[in-house]
Structure 1
Amino acid sequence: AAQNLYGPGVRMGNWNEDVYLEEERMRDFLDKREKGELLIQRNRRLKKNILRPMELSVTEDGFAHYGDKVILVNPDHPQGEEAGLFQEGDLSLCMSPDEVKAQISDELEVPCGVSAVRTTTPTGRNTFTILRDSTNSDAVDPVLRYGQNFCLGIPAGLECKMLYLSSDHRSLLKSSKKSWLQEVILTDEVSHLNCWQVTFLDPQLRLEYEGFPVKANEKLVIYHRHTNRALAAHRHLFLRTYFGKEVEVAAHTHLDSHRVEKPKNHWMLVTGNPRNKSTTMLDVPKPPSDDTRAVEQVMGINT
């Protein structure tokens, strides 16, 4: 019986064409690799740039200034009414490129998303610059003040341009991914939607502090000027990002029974540690007088 007539050595069909195609693909691959155009190479460049170490500004007078490089930190706080998983620790506001789009391009998509991440190490992802609002006529005063319009900018990956923290009223087509509240994004468009204001933490003292310099490294509330919604970190809502599982950030004012903003609306403009450039003021131990827990322990109060 005529069986096994065709072994692996027998060439059938368009074998010659297949060989040429394979050689062409290999040449194309080697050419792209040499020029650094392979997807994995572009991807590594984007990631390396976004995660590059940064140095924060050091404040000599204790206040936040225009031009300062800071990280925005939502300080650690206990779980509230949220059920289920809850992200603990100090969270910093970070740029979060779209998981799919970041895989196929070496440039950041615009608009770009934001998230809150459990890190306080300054990198290209979370180091923001405090910028003046373009309509601010008082361009002489270097200090950021309560109730004053300001912008937060971050360099856009490999491109030499700035992205601005922005927000707008939610709509059917535009809202935060998990809570369906007002979304916060990074955009390269300069407009009134990029304006924010710092509000003093204690509502009873807000009028008194209006126009006073904003203290760095202390809790405060950041309101979006156009929509009057406060920046919030939703520690119970998780997003899948290019860098893994992270926490949703939205613009929404969460008030307690006393009409006071909840800890998810609390932020700190964190500056650099003057003694160690690679760390922040969060790494500096508080003096005993500022550390309420230490005082309570000395007084014998259980915490």
Structure 2
Amino acid sequence: MANVRKYSPNVRVGNWREDEALGQDTLKDFLHRKDKGELTIQKTGTLRQNILKPVSLTVSQDGFLHFGDTVMLVNPGGTKADPRNPCTVSIIADLSSVRSHPQANFEPYLQGPCQVGGASSLKPCVRNAFVITSVDGTPNGDMLRYEQNFALRTTAGFAGELFLASDHRTLEKCAKRSRLQEVSLVEQLEFFCWWRVVYFDPQERLEYEGYPVQGNTKVLISHCKTNQCLAALANYILWTPFGKEYEITAHTLRDSHKAERDSNHWLFVPADPGEHVGPITQENQPDPQPVTDT
């Protein structure tokens, strides 16, 4: 009972002047941070506004994929025996991943490494838009072919132009839930950022080697260094700032016929030519909202 305060702050006893000054300083600091947009709730809101900003995907006039195209990576979902909703590879970011460019008026951008997850939202935005990037000198505009090496990077601007990467799992570096090979986004383009498109049917795989890859066609995305395929795991759920999402790993799952399962099947989804879209590749996001580091 000795530590119980018997008087309200209005009763001027003890260090009342110090308590009053401290309260005024706290209020001034709060109002100052509010005016600059540095409150946590404000920064969280602007982060979501930047990362969920719509992006115009590339319109494929011939139906094939080309280097420089902006697409989404969509897993079409499972079957009745293995139910799983469609999902798209998406960036998982929080306030610790946001930095600002001093040379560009402190415009915010994402800094790697960042996690990725399988989000249920299929609307193209900064989170789930990727640019097909050449790693062997192939110019933009050329067709992407089966078994050809390429990289996938996020769009310019707030997404930070990060590259989808993976490497052999270790005790210190692996997927959080499944403990399989981790997939993340990094800043530097190196060999562990290289991928290749593989035809999904093993019996016709050799015949399709070297052929152009069509959009909205079921394919496998194989990691060049580890030879593991990109997979969406419905049995392992990640709790992210954007809701529950599937864990994305690099792991080949095969059925009794030694064919890759639906978890390894992906679609490169460009824009629908019948829809009204803006620029072919809208990488520079207009008017980004400021996000200040914590």
Normalized against structure 2, the TM-score is what?
0.83
Question: Which amino acid counterpart does residue 125 of structure 1 have in structure 2?
Answer: R
Q: Which residue of 2 aligns with 1:163?
A: 162
Aligned in 2, Cα 1:7/1:23: closer, same or farther, shift over 3 Å? Answer: closer
Identity in percent: 42
User: How far apart in 1 are the matches of 2:235 and 2:116?
Assistant: 16
| Per-residue Cα deviation, 1:137-194 (whole angstroms, up to 9, x for no partner) | 34376111111111111147736x3111000000001111111110100111221111
Using the TM superposition, give the Cα deviation of residue 76 of structure 1 relative to its aligned residue in structure 2, in angstroms. Answer: 2.1
1:54 aligns with 2:22: no
Contact 1:196 1:224 in 2 (8 A): yes
Using the TM superposition, give the Cα deviation of residue 7 of structure 1 relative to its aligned residue in structure 2, in angstroms. Answer: 5.5
The within-5 A match list for 1:285-300 is none
User: How far apart in 2 are the matches of 1:275 and 1:58?
Assistant: 9
Question: Which amino acid counterpart does residue 24 of structure 2 have in structure 1?
Answer: E
1:178 aligns with 2:174: no
Q: Which residue of 2 aligns with 1:145?
A: 145
Q: Which residue of 2 aligns with 1:71?
A: 72
Contact 1:168 1:227 in 2 (8 A): yes
Q: Which residue of 1 aligns with 2:287?
A: none
Q: Which residue of 2 aligns with 1:263?
A: 262
| Per-residue Cα deviation, 1:198-231 (whole angstroms, up to 9, x for no partner) | 0011112222211111111010000001110000
Over aligned residue pairs, what C-alpha RMSD do you find? 2.3
User: How far apart in 1 are the matches of 2:162 and 2:256?
Assistant: 36
Aligned in 2, Cα 1:272/1:107: closer, same or farther, shift over 3 Å? Answer: closer
Unaligned runs of 5+ in 2: 1-5, 101-107, 278-294
Q: Which residue of 2 aligns with 1:14?
A: 15
Q: Which residue of 2 aligns with 1:193?
A: 192
Question: Which amino acid counterpart does residue 92 of structure 2 have in structure 1?
Answer: S
Unaligned runs of 5+ in 1: 1-5, 279-303
Aligned in 2, Cα 1:151/1:231: closer, same or farther, shift over 3 Å? Answer: same
1:96 aligns with 2:99: no
Contact 2:169 2:180 in 1 (8 A): yes
User: How far apart in 2 are the matches of 1:22 and 1:179?
Assistant: 48
Which deviates more, 145-154 or 37-46? Answer: 37-46
User: How far apart in 2 are the matches of 1:248 and 1:147?
Assistant: 25
Give the structure with higher Rg (CA): 1
1:227 aligns with 2:226: yes
User: How far apart in 1 are the matches of 2:126 and 2:13?
Assistant: 55
Using the TM superposition, give the Cα deviation of residue 101 of structure 1 relative to its aligned residue in structure 2, in angstroms. Answer: 4.2
| Per-residue Cα deviation, 1:42-85 (whole angstroms, up to 9, x for no partner) | 2111110111111111101110111111110100222546xxxx
Contact 1:49 1:157 in 2 (8 A): no
Question: Which amino acid counterpart does residue 121 of structure 1 have in structure 2?
Answer: K
Question: Which amino acid counterpart does residue 74 of structure 1 have in structure 2?
Answer: N
Partner secondary structure for residue 249 of structure 1: strand
Contact 1:39 1:104 in 2 (8 A): no
Paired residues, what number?
Answer: 264
Question: Which amino acid counterpart does residue 91 of structure 1 have in structure 2?
Answer: C
Using the TM superposition, give the Cα deviation of residue 251 of structure 1 relative to its aligned residue in structure 2, in angstroms. Answer: 0.3
